[in-house]
Amino acid sequence: MKLLVSALEHSANVHLHSLKKELSDDVEFIGIFDANLGDSIVDLRSLAIMGFVDAIKKLRYFFKLNSQMLHLAKEADKVLLIDSSGFNLPLAKKIKKRYPQKEIIYYILPQAWAWKKKRIPVLEKTITHLASILPFEKEYYSKNAPITYVGHPLLDIIKEYKQNLNSEVKEVAFMPGSRKGEIVKLMPIFKELTAKLKLNATIIIPKHFTKEDIKELYGNLAGFKIAHDAHKTLYEADFAFICSGTATLEAALIGTPFVLSYIAKPLDYYIASKLVKLSHIGLANIMFTQFMQRDLHPEFIQEGVTVQNLLNAFKEYDRTAFLDDSKHLRTYLKHGSSKTVAKIIQNI
């Protein structure tokens, strides 16, 4: 079986690796994905963008890439789209129009429930199988929508969960994100915060960054240990300061108390604030408030990301309550998703 895969983000490819293990050997990937999984038509590093402004600058490039994927769809038996709705939903519509009988699976759905709810009818008409990773997501779709809650992919790859916490915080992990714009904005604040905390600090850096990238983005890392394995480092840490994104949910599931910090470009933040109707930006908080009606962790965004605010949040943190809540979150999500999605793809 030839499977056309569109997985543009690093996090999408982490889950694609887990999915690959559950698929039979005769499933061949074509399209966009991590180079370790086959012959991708593009280097994923060239796709890294942050926010609306960066996306606009690369529009022509993405239109060309979209056309390449549509051409590849002709030889594919099925199509698998993962996350990245800005690219994948237009691609799905084009494939559906040209090849109406082609089976399209969308895994990690667009967050249409948060913004652009008008996308939901489009998704229902265009996608053959909607593989949801959020238990509450199905409620936003029509009764007969082809949507299934398949479990959450992070529960496929996280191997260790905290059952207890150390009595004192000694090890602190910092995750300033994987996009260059995020890292540049957060590192000066994290460096000053580290100096005030006077604890063992570890900075988690994406594996694909070169030495030149690290020097340019992070600057002088005196005072930090460097790590690349996020899950292992978060498990060993007593506390963490994390940029918004999948990493916040990873920490929540592992059971590591953390504070979310996010600084977007002013124009990106303005646009998002007008479009997105959410009271939180952290994935763990969005999920947790669905069934507990309260926050799981503190969030600081834009001007709120100051050394003093982060320091105060750290000092006032109820780590024991957080650990209890993290266990409730794991129960809510139930299980991983790779096996279920593999069955959908292979019609098992």
Distance between CA 201 and CA 94 in Å, rounded?
48
Distance between CA 121 and CA 141 in Å, rounded?
8
pTM: 0.83
Distance between CA 342 and CA 333 in Å, rounded?
18
Mean pLDDT in the chain? 90
pLDDT tens digits along 258-270: 999 988 776 665 5
Per-residue three-class SS string for 169-233: CCEEEEECCCCHHHHHHHHHHHHHHHHHHCCEEEEECCCCCCHHHHHHHHCCCCCEEEECCHHHH
Quick check: do 2-149 and 171-333 share a fold? Answer: yes
> How many helices (H) does the chain have, and how many strands (E)?
15, 12
What is the pLDDT, as a whole number, of residue 52? 45
Residues 36-64 have a mean pLDDT of 72
Does the domain made of 2-149 have the CATH classification 3.10.20.30? no
pLDDT tens digits along 198-227: 999 999 998 888 899 999 999 999 999 999
Distance between CA 165 and CA 322 in Å, rounded?
10
* pLDDT at residue 236 is higher than 80: yes
Residues 67-94 have a mean pLDDT of 95
- How does residue 48 score in pLDDT terms, banded at 50, 70 and 90? low
Helix/strand/coil for 104: strand
Does the domain made of 171-333 have the CATH classification 3.40.50.2000? yes
Structure tokens at 215: 């020097």
- CB-based contacts of 33-39 (< 8 A; 24+ apart in sequence): 33/5, 33/7, 34/7, 37/13
* pLDDT at residue 275 is higher than 60: no
Structure tokens at 329: 């979150």
What are the residue ranges spanned by the domains of the chain?
A: 2-149, 171-333
The answer to whether residues 104 and 73 touch, using CB atoms and an 8 Å cutoff, is: no
